[in-house]
């Protein structure tokens, strides 16, 4: 028989705690062993109850959920923490994960998303609700587009020729540059786009529509 997941549920709204305590109590293998309405009380309960998973909001009276995550992880490095928040801004999710949370679920998600995330976090896997996963993907894509826009006209042309399969010497001859200048630009392009290899550079160029996948594969 699978072990029961003991949960500490942290939210500063009593009605939210009551509703989700009832929901989680109906799930096989889950139980809420403690609740808290603030970061300070949550930390106290964590030290007393040693739960398997902490489910916490971000915004609370007094110290925030981010501070709670950091304190809990400092006390127990392997603590499993899941953020359950009304905030759908991907920045909140990124900050929570950087603080040490393993997952982030928005309160607008179906209850099944929360239950799945608790199970995933319990076994040490990262978990995001569908809306947060999409928001983070779009945020990442936006950052990549901004990085692409940071290229100079010459760098962009060299990138286009690189993804067309041209050699350094061929690009130098085409643009009336020295091979050394092309090599330097090649390095700068990879640094600006945050990639470390030509394979990653090609994948990113395809993703950002710099090169069409079929055209790229057709070139020698």
On the question of pLDDT at 87 being above 80, the answer is yes
Distance CA 47, CA 49 (A): 6
Distance CA 182, CA 191 (A): 14
User: pLDDT (tens digit, 9 = 90+) per residue, 28-52?
Assistant: 999 999 999 999 999 999 999 999 9
Phi (first) and psi of residue 139, to 5 degrees:
-65, -45
User: pLDDT (tens digit, 9 = 90+) per residue, 14-29?
Assistant: 999 999 999 999 999 9
Residue 161 in tokens: 């020729």
C-alpha closest to that of 10 among 33, 42, 40, 32: 42
Query: Can you tell me the mean pLDDT for 143-158?
Result: 78
DSSP string for residues in 137-165: HHHHHHHHHHHHHTS-HHHHHHHHHHHTT
Query: Which residues lie closer than 8 Å to 173 by C-beta, 6 or more apart?
Result: none
Domains and CATH numbers, the chain: 5-137 (3.40.50.2300), 150-218 (1.10.10.10)
The strand order across the sheet containing 127-128 reads: 30-36, 5-10, 53-56, 80-85, 103-106, 127-128
Percentage of the chain lying above the pLDDT 70 cut: 90
Tally of CB atoms within 10 A around 128 = 24
User: pLDDT (tens digit, 9 = 90+) per residue, 177-193?
Assistant: 899 999 999 999 998 88
On the question of pLDDT at 198 being above 60, the answer is yes
Which pTM was predicted? 0.65
Helices (H), 30-110: 39-49, 65-75, 90-99
Distance CA 156, CA 146 (A): 13
Burial track 6-36 (b if 16+ CB lie within 10 A, e otherwise): bbbbbbbeeebbeebeeebeeeeebebbbbb
Residue 192 CB burial class (10 angstroms; 0-12, 13-18, ≥19): middle
């Amino acid at each position: 028989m699978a072990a029961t997941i003991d949960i500490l549920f942290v939210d500063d709204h009593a009605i939210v705690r009551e509703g989700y305590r009832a929901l989680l109590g109906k799930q096989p293998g889950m139980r809420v062993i403690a609740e808290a309405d603030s970061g300070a009380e949550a930390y106290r309960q964590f030290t007393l109850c040693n739960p398997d998973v902490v489910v916490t909001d971000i915004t609370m009276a007094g110290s925030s959920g981010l501070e709670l995550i950091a304190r809990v992880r400092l006390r127990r490095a392997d603590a499993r923490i899941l953020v359950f928040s009304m905030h759908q801004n991907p920045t909140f999710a990124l900050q929570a994960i950087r603080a040490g949370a393993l997952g982030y679920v928005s309160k607008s998600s179906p209850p099944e998303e929360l239950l799945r995330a608790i199970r995933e976090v319990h076994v040490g896997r990262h978990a995001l609700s569908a809306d947060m996963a999409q928001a983070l993907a779009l945020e990442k894509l936006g950052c990549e587009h901004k990085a692409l826009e940071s290229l100079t006209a010459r760098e962009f042309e060299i990138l286009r020729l690189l993804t067309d399969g041209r050699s350094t010497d061929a690009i130098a001859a085409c643009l009336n540059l020295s091979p050394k200048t092309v090599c330097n630009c090649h390095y700068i392009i990879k640094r600006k786009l945050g990639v470390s290899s030509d394979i990653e550079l090609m994948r990113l160029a395809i993703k950002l529509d710099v090169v069409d996948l079929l055209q790229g594969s057709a070139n020698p």
